[in-house]
Structure 1
C-alpha cells in the first residue's frame, strides 16, 4: 500500500493546525514592538558598503524600538569593523511577510542598483503556513536571480535561513513540530538553490540561539541580543573586498550598545 495518501492527509491536517495557530498568533501580535524610526542609517567611513535587509518582521525591526538595534544596523556595525570601511544600511519589509511578495519587490532595478549586499530575511511565516516545497523552490530561485541581476557585478545576495521553529514558544508543541520540520525542509531547498548561483549564499541561524524556547513577547533587550548575534553571522558571510563604487560618509555616528 502506498504511503502517499497518508502523507497527503498528514499535510492537510498539519496545514490546518498551523493555520489556526498562525491566526491566533496574528491576534496576539498586536502587542509586538516594531521600530518606528528611520529604517536606514550610516556607520561612518570611506569607500562605504551599502547593505539592505528585505523580508518579514525580522528584517525591519520586529521586537526593538529603534532600527539601530535591528538586524541591518547590527550587521552594518560588524561589517564596518571587519572591512575597515563605512556602511550605509537600510531595510524594506514585505506587505504580508511571505516569500510570495519577494519577486515583485526584487524586480525593482532602481531599488537595488546601488546596493552591494542584499540580505533576504524570510521564512518564519512561510514555515507556519506550511508553504509547499515546490512554491518555495520556485520563488526563492526567482527572487535571488532577480536580485543578482540588479546588483553591481561584485554584489552579493545573502539568504538568512529560517530560525528553528521547534523553539517557537508562542505556539503549541504540535505546531512547533510541524513548522520546525517545514523550516528545516525549506532551509535545505534554499541551500540547494543558492549552491548553483554565483555571489549568492545562505547563512545559518546562529547556533548559539538554537537552544532557547523563544517567546515573541515585547522584550526589547532580548531581541537586541538576538539581532546582535544574527547580524554578526550575516556580516561574517559578506565577502569584503574593495568597493568599485566609492561612497564616503565622513560624519561620525553614535554606535548604540547591542544589549
Structure 2
C-alpha cells in the first residue's frame, strides 16, 4: 500500500480557505502593525502630493450659477503623484463637468487627512455646507487597515445618510470605487495579492449597499488596460497620471448626469 504522505502522484489534501470571520480575527490581531503602515502611507501622501491644492477664487465661490460639489475623501490623494494641477483627478473632473454643463464648477473639499470610512462618518454634518452634489471617494485607509466588509458597510451607510443631507437641502451622492492601488509601486510586491483582494471586497460591499439603498450612485473604477505600465517604469506597474485620467473619466459623466437631473 502506498503511503499517501509520500505519494507524489496522489491527490493533495485540500487547504482550507479561511472564513471571513477568521480572516477578520487575524487582521484585528495585526491591526497595530497595519496602523503603522497606514501612518507611513499618509506621510507619503503628504510629502508626495504635487501640486499643492488649488484655491478657488472668491468670485467663483460666491457665484450662484456655479455647480458646488462636495468631495468627501482625501483631496491630497486625488492630487498625488502628478506634477501639474490640470492632470489631477479633481481638475480633470472640474474641467469636464464645467464644459459639459456650460457653467463654473467648484469643489468644496473636506479635511486634508486620509480618512477611513469611520472617521468620515464621525465628522460633524455641519462640516459640509449646502452643495449641488457629493462625491464620496474613500477606501485607501480601509484597504491598508484591512477593515472588515461588515465594518466598512456599517460606516459607509452612516456616512451616506449624512452625505445625502450635507446642509439644508437633499443632494445626490456618487460613491467612487476604490482604484486598484495594488498595481502601484507604493504597494510592496508581497502585499499586492492581499491588497487586491481587500479592494475587491470593499468595492463589492459598496456596490451592494448603494444598490440596496437606492438613493446613491456607485461609480466603479474602470479596469485598466493590461498594456498600461510595466516593470520598465522602476517596477511601477501603473502610472499615477493614468490613475487620475481613468478615475476622472469614470466620475465626470455620472456627475453631469446627476447634476442635470437635480437642476
TM-score, normalisation: structure 1: 0.72
2:217 to 201, 219, 222: 201
Q: State the match for 2:54 in structure 1.
A: 38
Q: Could you tell me which residue of structure 2 aligns to residue 102 of structure 1?
A: 120
Residue aligning to 1:169: 185
Name the counterpart of 1:92: 110
Tell me, in whole angstroms, the C-alpha distance in 2 between the residues paired with 1:125 and 1:15: 12
Query: Equivalents in 2 of 1:214, 1:13: separation in Å?
Result: 35
Among residues 253, 256, 260, which one is paired with 1:236 in the alignment?
Answer: 253
Q: How far apart are 1:14 and its partner, in Å?
A: 7.4
Q: How many residue pairs are counted as aligned between the two chains? A: 238
Q: Is the 8 A contact 2:178 2:199 kept in 1?
A: yes
Q: What is the distance in 1 between the residues matched to 2:216 and 2:101? A: 19
Asked if the contact 1:120–1:159 (Cα under 8 Å) also holds between the matched residues in 2, the reply is yes
Q: What is the alpha-carbon distance in structure 2 between the residues aligned to residue 116 and residue 55 of structure 1?
A: 17
Residues of 1 paired with 2:64 and 2:25: CA distance?
Answer: 57
| Corresponding residue SS for 2:110 | strand
Q: Secondary structure at the match of 1:163?
A: coil
Residue range with higher mean Cα deviation, 188-197 or 69-78: 69-78
Q: C-alpha offsets along residues 26-67 of structure 1, whole Å, 9 cap, x if unaligned? A: 566575134324344659x98431112221355552224555
Instruction: Specify the alignment match of 2:140 in structure 1.
Output: 124
1-side partners of 2:110 and 2:69: how far apart?
Answer: 11
3-state SS of 1:207 partner: coil
Q: Assess if the C-alpha contact under 8 Å between 2:125 and 2:167 holds in 1.
A: no
**What is the CA-CA distance between 1:182 and the residue it aligns to?**
0.7
Q: Answer with 28-37 or 208-217: which moved more.
A: 208-217
Taking structure 2 as the reference length, the TM-score comes to 0.71
User: Superposition pairs for residues 66-81 of structure 1, below 5 Å?
Assistant: 67-81=85-99
- Alpha carbons of structure 1 residues 96 and 28: separation in structure 2 relative to 1, 3 Å: closer
* Worse-superposed segment, 2-11 or 134-143: 2-11
Task: Tell me whether 1:186 sits opposite 2:202 in the alignment.
Answer: yes
The answer on 1:140 being equivalent to 2:140 is no
Cα offset, 1:142, TM superposition: 0.4
Unaligned 5+ segments in structure 2 are 1-15
What runs of 5+ residues in structure 1 fail to find an aligned partner?
245-259
Q: Find out whether 1:61 has 2:73 as its counterpart.
A: no
Higher relative contact order (CA 8 A, sep 6+): 1
Secondary structure in 2 matching 1:166: helix
Deviates more, 1:48-57 or 1:147-156: 147-156
RMSD: 3.8
